Structure 1
Amino acid sequence: MLPESSATNKAADYEAATSFLGEWGRFQQRVFFLLCLSVVPNGLIAFSIVFLADTPAHRCLLPAHLNLSAAWRNSSIPLEEEDSSRGGALVPSKCSRYKLEHVLNYSERGLLPGVDVNLSNVPKEGCLDGWAFDQSVYTSTIVSEWNLVCDESWKSPMTSSIFFCGVLTGSLISGQLSDRFGRKIVMFATIAIQAVFRFIQVFSPNWITFCALYFIVGMGQVSNYLVAFVLGMEVLSLHIRTIFSTAGMSLFFGAGYMLLPLLAFFVNDWRMLLLALMLPSCLCLPLWW
């Protein structure tokens, strides 16, 4: 460890060596605002999984070709007690239905559910034909696209965990990469990575592909932020870097964070939302010049 006096001298030498950059001239202002602007897409991406992987209301799908009476079609899903924290009301099951062979038999015989047939005695089965998802809020999410519910419900939180594993990996390697190749090169490379891999994500054919790409997006997201932060601390003057590191980066990241739900409100298909989230990163690339 350097003696305190030696460290102080080195800090003073650094300030003297970078004094030609000025205090708050056009160069400093431009660097300040453009570096802050480059982290807005990071705020947009950070918790996009909240909307991409939201779970719409759902129930077992009944094939349309089944010749069921209206009464049995409406009563084919068993009622289950909801979470006790919500009052314990009875709601349609999300993961089971009455066995269709029995339901068809009762329907063909003209028997009425709850009148001629005690529903508690009818055997149940899983959602063998998939699920019907409510589309009043979302046209599509990765959950409704790939049926990540019931036995597959663990995949939804796992998606978020994989993204943050990418964030952890990016945190560990971004500093070494920017030391080796330069802050600016790594910063714009990670902006490009976010844009390119998010675009590829739009065409994900399955959950595994989506997660693999999401891991890389997580690496790019945090690396962009960290390298931009360090670059600003190195280039900006002593007094300005304090504002940059506390208010500047945080407020611009927060601006992106606040824009996310607004964007998701108008774009309710997960693939289109990914495209919309990709555009801010593309708009940051010309800042290279």
Structure 2
Amino acid sequence: MAWDLVCDDKWKEPFTTSLYFFGVLIGSGGSGVISDRFGRKIVLFGSMGVQILFNLLITLSPSWEIFCLINFLRGIGEVSYYVTAFVLGSEILQKSIRVTYSTLGIGCFYAVGYMMLPFIAYFVRGWRMLILILSLICLLYIPLWWFIPESPRWLLSKGRVKEAESIIRCMAKKNGITPPPVLFTDDELENIQNKQVKSVPVTQLIKSRNILVITVISALIWMIIAIGYYGLSLNIPNLHGNDYLNCFLFGAIEIPSYIASWLLLRKCPRRLSHAGILALSGGVLLFMNLIPSNLSILSTVLVLIGKMGNAWAYCMVYVYTSELYPTPLRNTGVGVSSMASRTGSIISPYIVLLGSYQEILPFIVMGVLMVFSGIVVLFLPETFNIPLPDTIDQMQKVKWCKCSHSDSTQTRETNVVILKEEML
């Protein structure tokens, strides 16, 4: 960094990173609303354009204060294209390959980009020029505008039937399928409109004790996983060995994580597998405290195993959390949990800062938190091979959280409120 962020100004380095993640927190709260309002495709490419703009502006920062401001704004825009790409792909692709897209598709390509970053940084040492080159690489996205369609589901929800039919017919042609002359009858269109799930107030998450407990546990798990993921990534400069090689390995280790997540999500119970992965990841980091300082290679290997387990858990928690909530509360519940993870990413730079006092301290803190989250997962209900709940009454119950008569009454009242909102 060009502003000598050392000694008395050392606090500015983690503050800069936390400010960026604070921008991501704000962006995650509004990206879904904007995407639902203006469409998946335009928000996806629009956020990419905004990202390129702020990346170019940040290279011109004359001071640390201006750098922080632009970095904060960059964080607001960055989350939109990842989340929107996830939603767009899920709505376009058929059900049989949605899980594959969500794990192997997005995850593996993210890991490949992670692996390319240290390779580019090795040859471009100045941070301004590095950001400039990464921004110019993003211009390669522009031709994709003519290949990626808008979500037909979103178009139908907005009453833009002709556009949706045109996209579906184009898809059928590319797949060698002859579509019927009429894709949607008037009754089918009316049924599609009636089935659109509307967002409900976040206060519905505290109307029932069972929902409240699930929400609190899920948010806690998401926050701890984010602390571990970003904490380990940001702690690369404090590891032994070459920083560029370590960064490359941190990206490469995520590929087997996503493959394993895909396999586990298809075959294994959610609760036990998730708890085991978190406990293993945290236990490996705690075991590092017993490794002699002269065995630096072994320490790096253990950190890589911890990172693999953390990325593994991060990939699985999206699916597990979405299966816990009923349809009317699913977007709201996952959204609250996601915002909790942004809080964890804000905290993570300060966990890394503990390494300046004692090298092993960040690993001890993250290890304890991950083992604790692995224990907490066991309190959640199992969702494997259980149909997704459509109403609050169909939700799995937390065994140790017995619902009182007042909770049952509140659940019925909540269902009535949701039904009324869906009828409006």
Question: For 1:240, which of 314, 319, 329 is the aligned residue?
Answer: 329
> For residues 106-133 of structure 1, what are the alpha-carbon distances to aligned partners after superposition, in whole Å with 9 as ceiling and x for unaligned?
xxxxxxxxxxxxxxxxxxxxxxxxxxxx
Give unpaired runs (5+ residues) of structure 1.
13-21, 55-140, 149-154
- Report 1:159-178 matches (<5 A): 159-178=246-265
> For residues 205-258 of structure 1, what are the alpha-carbon distances to aligned partners after superposition, in whole Å with 9 as ceiling and x for unaligned?
43321232223212211221222221121120112210233x323222111111
Question: For 1:278, which of 363, 367, 388 is the aligned residue?
Answer: 367
CA-CA distance at 1:277 after TM superposition: 1.5
**Which amino acid in structure 2 is aligned with residue 251 of structure 1?**
M
SS across alignment from 1:191 = helix
CA-CA distance at 1:49 after TM superposition: 4.4
What is the match of residue 41 of structure 1?
224
CA-CA distance at 1:199 after TM superposition: 1.2
CA-CA distance at 1:34 after TM superposition: 0.9
> For residues 53-84 of structure 1, what are the alpha-carbon distances to aligned partners after superposition, in whole Å with 9 as ceiling and x for unaligned?
43xxxxxxxxxxxxxxxxxxxxxxxxxxxxxx
CA-CA distance at 1:172 after TM superposition: 1.4
**Which amino acid in structure 2 is aligned with residue 255 of structure 1?**
T
**Which amino acid in structure 1 is aligned with residue 327 of structure 2?**
L
Q: What is the count of residue pairs matched by the alignment?
A: 180
- Tell me if structure 2 keeps the 8 A contact 1:163–1:214: no
CA-CA distance at 1:51 after TM superposition: 5.3
- Tell me if structure 1 keeps the 8 A contact 2:276–2:374: no
Residue 253 of structure 1 pairs with residue 350 of structure 2: no
- Tell me if structure 2 keeps the 8 A contact 1:229–1:249: no
SS across alignment from 1:39 = helix
- Tell me if structure 2 keeps the 8 A contact 1:170–1:219: yes
Q: Quick check: which one's strand share is greater?
A: 1
**Which amino acid in structure 1 is aligned with residue 239 of structure 2?**
I
Give unpaired runs (5+ residues) of structure 2.
1-93, 96-178, 185-190, 196-204, 380-424
> What's the TM-score once normalised by structure 1's chain length?
0.54
**Alignment partners' CA distance in 2, 1:51 and 1:207:** 18
Residue 185 of structure 1 pairs with residue 272 of structure 2: yes
- Tell me if structure 1 keeps the 8 A contact 2:206–2:212: no
Residue 199 of structure 1 pairs with residue 295 of structure 2: no
Residue 25 of structure 1 pairs with residue 208 of structure 2: yes
What is the match of residue 112 of structure 1?
none
- What RMSD, in angstroms, separates the aligned Cα atoms of the two structures? 3.1
CA-CA distance at 1:24 after TM superposition: 5.4
What is the match of residue 353 of structure 2?
265
**Alignment partners' CA distance in 1, 2:209 and 2:243:** 47
Identity of aligned residues (%): 12
> What's the TM-score once normalised by structure 2's chain length?
0.38
**Alignment partners' CA distance in 2, 1:202 and 1:46:** 19
**Which amino acid in structure 2 is aligned with residue 39 of structure 1?**
W
What is the match of residue 239 of structure 2?
142
**Alignment partners' CA distance in 2, 1:23 and 1:182:** 27
* Change in CA separation of 1:259 and 1:38 when aligned onto 2, cut-off 3 Å: same
Higher Cα Rg: structure 1 or 2? 1
CA-CA distance at 1:272 after TM superposition: 1.7
**Alignment partners' CA distance in 2, 1:168 and 1:249:** 24
- Report 1:58-207 matches (<5 A): 141-143=238-240, 148=241, 155-205=242-292, 206-207=295-296
SS across alignment from 1:270 = coil
What is the match of residue 167 of structure 2?
none
CA-CA distance at 1:275 after TM superposition: 0.6
Greater RCO between the two (CA within 8 Å, min separation 6)? 1
